[in-house]
Structure 1
Amino acid sequence: MEPRVECVQTVEARLGETPLWCERTQRLVWIDIEEPRLFRLDPATGKASVSTQASTYLGCHALTRSGLHLIARDLELVMEDPETGRSEPFGRVPDEALPATRLNDGRVDRNGRLWIGTMDNGLNQGLGRLYRVDADGAFTPFYDDVIVANGIAFDPGGRHMYFTDTRRHLTWKITLDEAGERPVSRTVFADYSAGGERPDGACVDADGCLWQAFFAGGAIVRYTPDGRIDRKIGLPVTNPTCLCFGGPDYKTLFVTTAYKFLSEEQRADEPLAGSVFAITGAGQGVAEHRFDF
């Protein structure tokens, strides 16, 4: 079956990101980072809602076991009640400050902890770090000298984490200790420095393969666990940003996109830039882990 690509939500998102599938509500939740908004989409009906967030930037977000929503705003994490929209502070990045850095990509591991990175807002200095956030909101740093933290994803077994620095054009495979609490080794999984490609958001499917979006590359690719690209799917827009599997059977691959950095001429040629796409026939994913606090 050849993959089929269709637009399921037409939006002009400046920097759409972090799609997550909520199996409880059967909805897709995603964000627009630079026009800080959080979207919820019911693909079955097409019904969508949007809420503006009180921040300069959003970084990412996570589902929680309690049903609250964990949202990264600037350098803070907040817990938001999706029913009322009320939010309360949960944690803050230590020793970093706007406008130099902000929170960016993150994902929850099998133990209910959030791994999240920060980035240089100037996109050229190693000012960011990779952190683990525990149930009490404490941030533990592991790697520094990060320009743009991205592409955090875990293999089905939970012992390996993928981590990308978009502006260094590198993706690493990190092995965690048996408790899943600390990295014990890091090796280069994919090196795009020769071609200058920009690896962005990522997810892992049920076969343990890594799917990665390429900003400015107009495509998503799948890597086998040993680092070979075995699939590539083109999109009708230049800037795919992130992706996740969802739907009742996790056989739909949702992809967010962005119009950021496109010229007026490019935007005219790409009326769907910033929209959300759904791909069928790409494989099957697994449910997202939920943050436990």
Structure 2
Amino acid sequence: MTDSLEFLFSIDVANTLGEGVQWHAQSNSLWWTDIHNSRLYRFDWQSRSLQHWPTPDRLTAFGILSAEPVRLLASFASGFALYQPETGDLSWIAQPETGKPSNRFNDGRVDRQGRFWSGTMQDHGDRAPTGTLYRLDETGVHSVLHDLTIPNALCWSPDGKRMYNADTPTGQIRTFDFDPERGEPGGARVFAEVPRGKPDGAAIDSDGHLLCALFGGSGVARFSPGGALTALHDLPVSQPTCVALGGPNLDVLFVTSATEGMTEQQRKDEPMAGHVLAYATPYRGLAECTPDEARIPK
């Protein structure tokens, strides 16, 4: 475990719950959401300029349909929608959990076939395992995994034949055999136990290794395709939330973080908490998958 990171800069946003970070190669920009403050961010790599938009509901995950104009396929706290932040246009596609008012959507991602996925969790209360991972495709919304507490770390292997997912409180990342044509996971098994903290947002690099933010663990872990821990990187924030590999050469690691639940003293002790951190890495990323409009139900 000799790989190292070189700190480059931070994007000083002090998010309450920064999440869903992804690199959009076509626009050379980084995107993420602050879920609890209902805000979408875009950071332009060349100009180092930052834009943000308020969102009509808590934005939890999204895929970028286009950057000019901005069009997203998204999961908000209450369901799936098409969203244009520059105009505020919002078109609901499905709200599958209207019968579970204590639940909200959480982590999501576009798979390698252009389908959008997002999972739900109990938003308040005793955090019971009431969550479901949903797949959105041209035939509608489908419940795929059930009895989840906090779904996270959703990503796919480079060939799209393995899916990864974590139920955060367990401390484990699971892997599934994935049928790319049908969008069905099977053969669930434990892929890895995180070395500290809890597994949050994750991404796959070009070598098929999985990088995972360790919420409460002040770090990012990297696992081989076989589940072996190959690197553990310390961070100056205790609550990293999600990771993405981006930049023009896909070799910059971006990490979102949170200030949620921190005391005033903890905030003072962690002046970078809630910011987006950027590091030069020895790793190379994969292009983020974009939604296939033909797979969006009409």
TM-score normalised by L of structure 1: 0.92
CA distance in 1, matches of 2:151, 2:34: 17
Cross-structure match for 1:115: 117
Change (3 A) 1:45 1:116: same
Whether 2:93 is the aligned partner of 1:80: answer: no
Shift of 1:82: 4.8
In structure 2, the residue corresponding to 1:24 is in which secondary structure?
helix
**What's the secondary structure of 1:64's corresponding residue?**
strand
Q: 1:197 to 1:289 in 2, by over 3 A?
A: same
Shift in Å at residue 155 of structure 1? 0.5
The count of aligned residue pairs is 288
SS at match of 1:265: helix
Does residue 104 in structure 1 map to residue 134 in structure 2? no
Task: Provide the residue aligned with 2:133 in structure 1.
Answer: 130
Residues 148, 165 of structure 1: 8 Å contact kept:
yes
Aligned pairs for 1:173-188 within 5 A: 173-188=175-190
**1:91 corresponds to:** 94
What are the within-5 Å matches in structure 2 for residues 132-281 of structure 1? 132-135=135-138, 138-192=140-194, 197-281=197-281
Letter in 1 for 2:272: L
CA RMSD of aligned residues (A): 1.9
Tell whether the 8 Å contact from 2:113 to 2:180 is kept in structure 1 after alignment. Answer: no
2 CA distance for matches of 1:274 and 1:71?
A: 22
**1:287: Cα distance to partner?**
0.5
Q: Choose which of 63, 70, 73 in structure 2 pairs with 1:70.
A: 73
Shift of 1:226: 0.7
Instruction: Name the CA distance, whole Å, in 2 between partners of 1:175 and 1:198.
Output: 23
Distance 2:8 2:259 in 1: 18
CA deviation vs aligned residue, 1:99-132 (integer Å, no higher than 9, x gap):
x111110111111101211111136211001111
1:154-203 deviation digits (Å, cap 9, x = unpaired): 110001010000122221101112524111211111235xx873110000
Residue pairs, 1:14-25, within 5 angstroms: 14-25=16-27
Deviates more, 1:202-211 or 1:258-267: 258-267
| Cα displacement string for residues 219-269 of structure 1 (whole angstroms, at most 9, x for unaligned residues) | 001000111111111111111000111111111111101111211101011
Q: Give the corresponding residue for 2:37.
A: 35
| Kept after mapping to 2: 8 A contact 1:94/1:139 | no
Name the CA distance, whole Å, in 1 between partners of 2:182 and 2:245.
23
Output the TM-score relative to the length of structure 2: 0.91
Contact 1:215 1:238 in 2 (8 A): yes
Read off the aligned partner of 1:93 and give its amino acid letter. P
